[in-house]
Structure 1
Amino acid sequence: MILSISIRDFVLIDRLDIEPGAGFTALTGETGAGKSIILDALSLAMGAPADRSFIRNGTQQASVAVEFGPPSRHPVWALLQEQGIEASMDEALTLKRVIRTSGPARAFVNDQAVSAALLAEIGEMLVEIHGQHAASALMRPSMHRRLLDQFAGNETLLSACSKAFDALHEARETRARLEAEQADAIAAREWLGQAVEELERLAPVSGEAEELTTRRMRLMQSERVTEAVSEAETAMDGADMETALSRAARAVERICRLPGFEGSDETLPVAARAAAEAIERAIIETREAGAAVFGLERLISHDTSALESAESRLFALRALARKHMTEPEALPDLLAKLRGQLDLAEAGEDALIAARKAETATQARYHQVAEKLTVARKAAAGQLEKAIAKELAPLKLGRATIGICVEALPEGEGGAFGADRVEFEAETNPGAGFGPLRKIASGGELARFSLALKCALAEAGSAQTLIFDEVDQGVGGSVAAAIGERLVRLAGARQVFAVTHSPQVAASAAAQWLVEKDHENASGSGGTRVRGLDDSARQEEIARMLSGAEVTEEARAAAGRLLEDV
């Protein structure tokens, strides 16, 4: 139900904050006071198209915020969760719309920006507006099937139908995929055979290309190593360094053996002995260096044929990879994939035949469940037609008849909801023929049809708030009283608002708001205000509705009797 309504700078409304209660509330007031403006504001917050003409003159933006308190079982919570909107069942749910003189209008749910379409979807679940011009869920064919299913209690059948349709959809996709794959495989059978044969002949192994690249690089370096070792050996041989060092050692030793030098601590003898030791070490290291250089040759394994073999294999892998526009490392997986496609082309239609059988079986199951749903809908349609018929006569629609058309959809157009098209039809005069309710009903009849349908549907529909705009237009007396009785009945399980000019309807309400022009608002420009009426004020307002501009004592007495009768 609506917990509060906050309107700012909307047409003639400067500032309006109201907190409606449960049950039936009547909105009354003189023509032109602004009752329709309030409905326009509510419709805007429910996702109706935004229009900059709604912005009050002299201001930059208009806004409408409506707070709701849906029960925990209400389906709106599941929709909010599905759309990723943060909301708590322990707190109010706020829908808000803002229109600016520049820039696009904005929509919010709990201060989170949403699209106008999503706001409308949420608003439709919370509020139904029934009137001559307002869009009503009951008047839209897209809602008729849902309403009939709710009246019939078809939740279990709908769930089974949805599951059967999902299974059929999956089976169809599987069959279509196999058909496409086999068709492609058959068309490419010759190419597949050649490709598989070529790949099998090469027999690529996982990781082989990387290993060959490494081995090729190592074999290519062995040739360079051989050249370097040969150059080092030539250098060692050509210089005859050991002979030169030996001659130098003998010459230095003669110095060390001269009389007075041997064992002397003087600088020259000490330096001579150090030079002899250094030359001796150089001779030893030269011999070791030569042995090391010549030893390298024994370690070199330069296999020209191995290099050629590695290069040939690597180049073949790379060439085939380029041919198939892939990497050499992917060739083993490609071979497995192409083998599978070739097997599919050569194995016949076994897998496809199995898929077609599965599709036929799931289709039969879907048709079986959909047919049960159709039977249940047709049975419920008859019951609902009778329930509606009982409501029409007291509403001065006794010559009208409501029919509920349940027709099979063309083959292939069914879905998770079944295979039926459901639409409410009306015949306003006997023999005139039935036609779509949305087209047959006149403006004055439309709201009363809505009321009759809502009463007959009872608990059908998720909206906890119903708003009726001038449902009493063109009627009075007993018909208006009957309308009031039905609004009270509906308000037993939900919140009901009615914009009315009928004193009988207003007197039936549990609460009454007076919508009037405000000539002394803050801006001084005049506007619209809404105030709740106590018992005394209600009697005066209903008396005005009975007598017109001049309220008489007789009108006050009549108003009192109307209020007492409720």
Structure 2
Amino acid sequence: MLCSLGLKNFVLVDELALEFGPGMTVLTGETGAGKSILLDALGLLLGGRADPGLLRHGSDKADLTAEFDLAAVPAARAWLVEHELAGDEPGTLLLRRTLDAAGKSRAFINGVPATLVQLKALGETLVAIHGQHAHQRLLQPETQRMLLDSYAGADALAKDTAAAWRAWRAVEDELGHAQRNAASFAAEAERLQWQIDEIASLGFGAEEWPVLEAEHSRLHHAASLIDGVQAALLSLADGEENCQGQLAGTAHRLDELTGYDPALGEVGELLAAAEASLAEAVHALQRYADRLDLDPARLAEVEARMDAIWRMARKYRVDPQQLPEMLAAWQARLQAIGGGGGIEALARRAAAAQADYRAQAAALSAQRIAHAGVLAEAVTGQMRPLALADSRFEVALVTGEPGAHGLEQVAFRVAHAAAPARDLARIVSGGELSRISLALQVIVNARFAVPTLVFDEVDVGLGGRVAEIVGRLLAELGRACQVLCVTHLPQVAACGRHHFVVSKHKHADGLTSAVTPLAPEARVEEIARMLGGVEITETTRRHAAELLGHA
């Protein structure tokens, strides 16, 4: 739930801090007062595109903040944990966005710098915004398909189907290219196979080369190593005047002197530690010397192996360590042009990709079929109180050419009375479309319980009894989630649990917008203004109070 929204130097707002509660909140005001500014700010905080023109005139920087309560939003909490952005209070989320005059924008999630992609991904779990023209987008086939998929819980399946379609088409393109260039592909495949076999015959891995280099260095310098280790052992332990004996003698004499002055005890402890370290070093050298031996045969084997690898590397003009990488690249290229099986192998890959696509698309179709009738019935039920009692909503699945969207097109249709159903664009008026759009939004959002729903003048074109029913519908939706609604209709505004009025004021340095929460008495005046216009009479006030009482 959105708890607070703070704006500074944003469009017409100098500085503003608002707190929001549960249920339905309405925002009203004169045309041009800036009611949509709050929704624009919220959109930016949820990853919307920034524009330097959004800065208040004369300002260098705009600062927007929003605080959300995540107690009932497990998806958002899980997202924050997954991306290590949970903050100190897991149940609270703070979003911040800054804009400057140069067009630069910065975003923060719980005080940590974030990307707009992250803001958008997180925002989808928090807020659903329905703008003034949402009902016009409803006429687009893509919007209709996305709404059904969302209602059916098939969004992930739709993405998988689109990905499978792209993979299939990519292999089909490769196959077509191979068929058109069969001769050159065959020659390339033969050459690649020969090169792959030659390098693979070495049985050489990237990790082998440093091991060979280390072993060769040891074997090649074995005589020097043996002489050096023996000399070290003589100096440390085996010679007549070795370090080990001298250190032991010195430690013994100091130990006797400690009886006269305990202060020498610390030096004795240090010498004892040195004796232990020296003994460990001597033992390590002795073990090394036991393993060290001249082995001309093994040296010859290592040099022969390195020479074979070097010759192969020089042939292909790469460093020895690059041979395995080059082998992998050739194998990938051979696979891309059909592998060892040529065009036949590519054809098998194309058939497998097609089968995968059709399996994904069939599963998507099943989801759509299972939910299309349910969605149609639910929307029809929601339309009846919206003065569309004689109308019926249908979700048609029209089989067509396979595509990234699946095996069928989704078409929303409406039937009036006993007439056959026809596509929305061909039958409904603007007012009917806005009501159907609202019914759809309520149904889809109620199913997935997005914690905050924003409606920006979605009631345009409505009035009278229908407007009152829409207000009650939004208020009912506000019992399940938080609803913010910008409206010009007094019938809708009266149904709000909380009421803010947006006003514009002229100052010496320009215009500013202010947002004021209304007490019950002030709400009567605002509803009366919306009902009566310029002159507000007692009759208008009584009507406003009556509207509020009914709501």
TM-score range, shorter chain: 0.5 to 0.7
Aligned to 1:228: none
Contact 2:29 / 2:502 at 8 angstroms: preserved in 1? Answer: yes
- Pick the structure with greater CA Rg: 1
Contact 1:150 / 1:460 at 8 angstroms: preserved in 2? Answer: no
Amino acid at match of 1:322: R
Aligned to 2:68: 68
The alignment partner of 2:38 has SS state of helix
The alignment partner of 1:460 has SS state of helix
TM-score (ref. length: structure 2): 0.64
Residue 532 of structure 1: how far off its partner (Å): 1.2
Question: Equivalent of 1:386, from 366, 377, 393?
Answer: 377
Q: 1:446-485 alignment to 2 at 5 Å?
A: 447-457=434-444, 459-461=446-448, 463-485=450-472
Task: State the alpha-carbon separation in 2 of the partners of residues 309 and 512 from structure 1.
Answer: 88
Task: State the alpha-carbon separation in 2 of the partners of residues 95 and 11 from structure 1.
Answer: 19
Task: State the alpha-carbon separation in 2 of the partners of residues 409 and 22 from structure 1.
Answer: 45
Structure 2 unaligned blocks of 5 or more: 179-184, 224-299
The root-mean-square deviation of aligned C-alpha atoms, in Å, is: 5.5
Closer/same/farther in 2, CA of residues 540 and 93 from structure 1, 3 Å limit: same
Aligned to 1:536: 521
Contact 2:52 / 2:101 at 8 angstroms: preserved in 1? Answer: yes
Aligned to 2:53: 53
Contact 2:71 / 2:91 at 8 angstroms: preserved in 1? Answer: no
Task: State the alpha-carbon separation in 2 of the partners of residues 80 and 382 from structure 1.
Answer: 36
Residue-by-residue CA offset, 1:112-145 (whole Å, 9 max, x unaligned): 3333344234334322222324799978866655
Amino acid at match of 1:59: S
Residue-by-residue CA offset, 1:186-210 (whole Å, 9 max, x unaligned): 613895699599989xxxx999999
The alignment partner of 2:491 has SS state of helix
Question: Equivalent of 1:547, from 517, 532, 537?
Answer: 532
Amino acid at match of 2:488: H
Closer/same/farther in 2, CA of residues 136 and 466 from structure 1, 3 Å limit: farther
Structure 1 unaligned blocks of 5 or more: 220-307
Aligned to 2:7: 7
Aligned to 1:188: 191
* Residues 140-149 or 49-58, more deviating: 140-149
Residue-by-residue CA offset, 1:439-489 (whole Å, 9 max, x unaligned): 9874x6665333211223353345321111223323222111110111012
Q: Does 1:151 align with 2:180?
A: no
Task: State the alpha-carbon separation in 2 of the partners of residues 549 and 524 from structure 1.
Answer: 27
Question: Equivalent of 2:315, from 311, 323, 329?
Answer: 323
Q: How many residues align?
A: 454
The alignment partner of 1:496 has SS state of strand
Residue 217 of structure 1: how far off its partner (Å): 10
Q: 1:3-402 alignment to 2 at 5 Å?
A: 3-71=3-71, 73-81=73-81, 83=83, 85-87=85-87, 90-133=90-133, 145=145, 147-152=147-152, 187-188=190-191, 191=194, 319=311, 322-325=314-317, 367=358, 370-396=361-387, 402=393
Residue 26 of structure 1: how far off its partner (Å): 1.2
TM-score (ref. length: structure 1): 0.62
Residue-by-residue CA offset, 1:300-328 (whole Å, 9 max, x unaligned): xxxxxxxx999999988865653354678
Closer/same/farther in 2, CA of residues 137 and 4 from structure 1, 3 Å limit: farther
Closer/same/farther in 2, CA of residues 319 and 428 from structure 1, 3 Å limit: same
Task: State the alpha-carbon separation in 1 of the partners of residues 17 and 475 from structure 2.
Answer: 25
Amino acid at match of 1:404: V
Aligned to 2:480: 493
The alignment partner of 1:508 has SS state of coil
Task: State the alpha-carbon separation in 2 of the partners of residues 106 and 499 from structure 1.
Answer: 28
Closer/same/farther in 2, CA of residues 427 and 529 from structure 1, 3 Å limit: farther
Aligned to 2:243: none
Closer/same/farther in 2, CA of residues 423 and 208 from structure 1, 3 Å limit: same
Task: State the alpha-carbon separation in 2 of the partners of residues 43 and 161 from structure 1.
Answer: 25
Residue-by-residue CA offset, 1:231-254 (whole Å, 9 max, x unaligned): xxxxxxxxxxxxxxxxxxxxxxxx
Task: State the alpha-carbon separation in 2 of the partners of residues 420 and 98 from structure 1.
Answer: 44
Contact 2:135 / 2:437 at 8 angstroms: preserved in 1? Answer: no
Residue 64 of structure 1: how far off its partner (Å): 1.9
Closer/same/farther in 2, CA of residues 140 and 127 from structure 1, 3 Å limit: farther
Aligned to 1:517: 504
Identity of matched residues, %: 35
Closer/same/farther in 2, CA of residues 323 and 141 from structure 1, 3 Å limit: same
The alignment partner of 1:188 has SS state of helix
The alignment partner of 2:534 has SS state of coil
The alignment partner of 1:385 has SS state of helix
Amino acid at match of 1:556: R
Closer/same/farther in 2, CA of residues 462 and 419 from structure 1, 3 Å limit: farther
Task: State the alpha-carbon separation in 2 of the partners of residues 190 and 16 from structure 1.
Answer: 70
Task: State the alpha-carbon separation in 1 of the partners of residues 523 and 200 from structure 2.
Answer: 96
Task: State the alpha-carbon separation in 2 of the partners of residues 38 and 150 from structure 1.
Answer: 27
Residue 4 of structure 1: how far off its partner (Å): 0.5
The alignment partner of 2:102 has SS state of coil
